[in-house]
């Protein structure tokens, strides 16, 4: 029995046509708004009941 697939390596796939190179993580400039935090528009309601309702 001969296996025609390439032997797996520890570094993963090097073929960029099927596996794109890993991307760096996204960094935020401002902290993420939580659902139970006060809304950013300033009306005093929770974000989930105000601007987060349509998000």
pLDDT digits (tens, 9 = 90+) for 7-52: 554 556 777 778 777 888 888 888 888 989 999 899 999 999 998 8
Would you place residue 1 in the very low, low, confident or very high pLDDT band (cuts 50, 70, 90)? low
pLDDT of 3: 56
| Long-range interactions of 36-41: CB distance < 8 A, separation 24+ | none
pLDDT of 49: 93
pLDDT of 7: 53
pLDDT of 55: 74
13-24 b/e with 16+ CB inside 10 Å = b? eeeeeeeeeeee
pLDDT exceeds cutoff 80 at 2: no
């Amino acid at each position: 029995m001969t296996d025609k697939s390439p032997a797996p390596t520890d570094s993963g796939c090097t073929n960029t046509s099927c596996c794109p190179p890993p991307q760096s993580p996204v960094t935020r400039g401002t902290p993420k708004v939580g659902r139970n935090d006060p809304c950013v528009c300033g009306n005093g309601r929770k974000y989930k009941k105000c601007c987060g309702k349509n998000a």
